[in-house]
Amino acid sequence: MIKNNNLNIIIIFLFIGIWISIGSDPYNFLFLFETDYKIKRITENLNYKDIINLLRAIFPLFCCIICLFFLIKYRLFKKQKQFLNILLAIQIIQIFSTILSTNTIMWGYENIINHVGRYNWLLSSIATILIFMIANKLKNFNLKNLFYISIFFLSCMVVWFSLKNIVDFYSLETRTSIYNLDVFRDSAFFLNHQMPRVTGLSRSIIFLYVITFFLSQNTQWKIRIYLYVILIILGSLIFIYQSKYALISYIIINIIFYFNFLDKKKGSKIIILLFISQIVVFYSLSSSRIIIDNFKKSELPSQNQELELNEKKNKEDIRHFRKFQDLNKKGISLLEHVILSGRAQLWLHSFDFIKHRPFLGYGSMSDRYLLNEYRIDNNFLVNPVSNAFIYSFLSGGVFCLFLFLMFWWNLKKRILTLINIKYISNNYCKIGTTIVLLIGLRCLVENSIMLFGVDFILIINSLYLTEEK
């Protein structure tokens, strides 16, 4: 342990920088290595957003260098948390597998710039791990401060992007559920990058829901009322976005909340009242679009006939609930589509590549190329393999998969404490354990913590919270 107040401040700023770098594209700085003509053409059209994106994209590399300097200078590598060591080993294995992937089919999908870009997500993950390694060795440094920073950024993301989605829901001519809004619409971009999809936002909302609920316990009644209002808003957003993972998680966390109450009758009333309030807000928001449309038609009587024709023409687009059916699928295929949204086909397809390189894998982000050749050729939205365990196998081979399985196996005791959650006295420990469980479930249907992002930062935050007494 070392005492260094300046380093305490540096770690805070580095962690803030890592959060700001989420969603950046490595090409925002790798264009500097393009041909002179391309560099000149790009730099001539640079604006403030491009400069911000350049700084965001290059920050993880800068952060890694700074953290390594302090780790080596103060010899902080020793006696680190086991989960940090495992996560670091997973990133290092993927670096080697990415290097070696130049001799595989991957080289046919990328040039040298694309290849170098694949290391950026690994560097971001490593930078995050190193920040926590240093923070864990600092005297008078409260690791909860990093958790509070995460709450701040999660809240900003949810508020900002949810407002944008709701405004689009009311203002765009296409009448559909928010879930089915076009992800390529002009307003769906932030700093020239695609903003998070509703599935990602729903995940963040679920985390905030868990945090808000447990923090509302053992607080003054007036404060609790405000927190319950926040829970109503967050819960209504879950129903508005209609993400399957979020809806299932919503059921799970309410079961956890129920067992958390010592007074089960009182707990049931609170959960039911919150649920009813959330449904009312959801239904009111969803239905109000129809009311507004009808009002607009009454204000423009001369255009009524044209509007009615357009309404009939767009009848299939008038949706306020997510569509789960697919007229082209039947039987087992339809069931798989409804439950897994086509993920099973991606999982099976990935093993066609895994069997050729079971030990080495294809490196970071390889699923974007290997499983999406047709989509890339036709400029469609690419689909990741959407399973963290399969992704670990595909990207880093059997050794990476083994470490990832070991990571979760070591956490089983922490997760199982939720069975007796009412006996856990520390609310932060409850928050951390519940979020770890939810991220574990998300690993079954998304790449989650195998890639740098919100999940990766939150899993480390939460694992430290589980150690709170």
Q: Which helix (H) or strand (E) holds 213?
A: helix 198-216
Residue with tokens 């604006």: 47
User: Dihedral sign, CA of 447, 449, 451, 452?
Assistant: positive
Backbone angles phi, psi at 261, to 5 degrees: -75, 130
Q: How many CB atoms lie within 10 A of CB 20?
A: 14
- Say yes or no to pLDDT of 291 above 80: no
Whole-prediction pTM: 0.92
Task: Report DSSP letters for 361-430, one per residue.
Answer: ---TTHHHHHT-HHHHHTTPPP-----HHHHHHHHHHHHHHHHHHHHHHTTHHHHHGGGGGGG---HHHH
pLDDT digits (tens, 9 = 90+) for 17-35: 999 999 998 888 887 776 6
Nearest 10 degrees: CA dihedral of 300, 305, 309, 312? Answer: 80
How far, in Å, CA of 249 to CA of 443, rounded? 13
- Residue 98 reports pLDDT greater than 70: yes
Predicted confidence (pLDDT) per residue in 173-200, tens digit: 766 677 777 777 877 888 888 888 888 9
Q: Residue 318 — very low, low, confident or very high, per pLDDT cuts 50/70/90?
A: very low
Q: What is the pLDDT of residue 313?
A: 46
pLDDT digits (tens, 9 = 90+) for 321-353: 666 666 566 667 777 767 788 889 899 999 999
Q: Is 190 helix (H, G, I), strand (E, B) or coil?
A: strand
Percent pLDDT > 70 in the chain is: 86
Residue 400 in this model has a pLDDT that exceeds 50: yes
36 within 8 A of 153, measured Cβ to Cβ: no
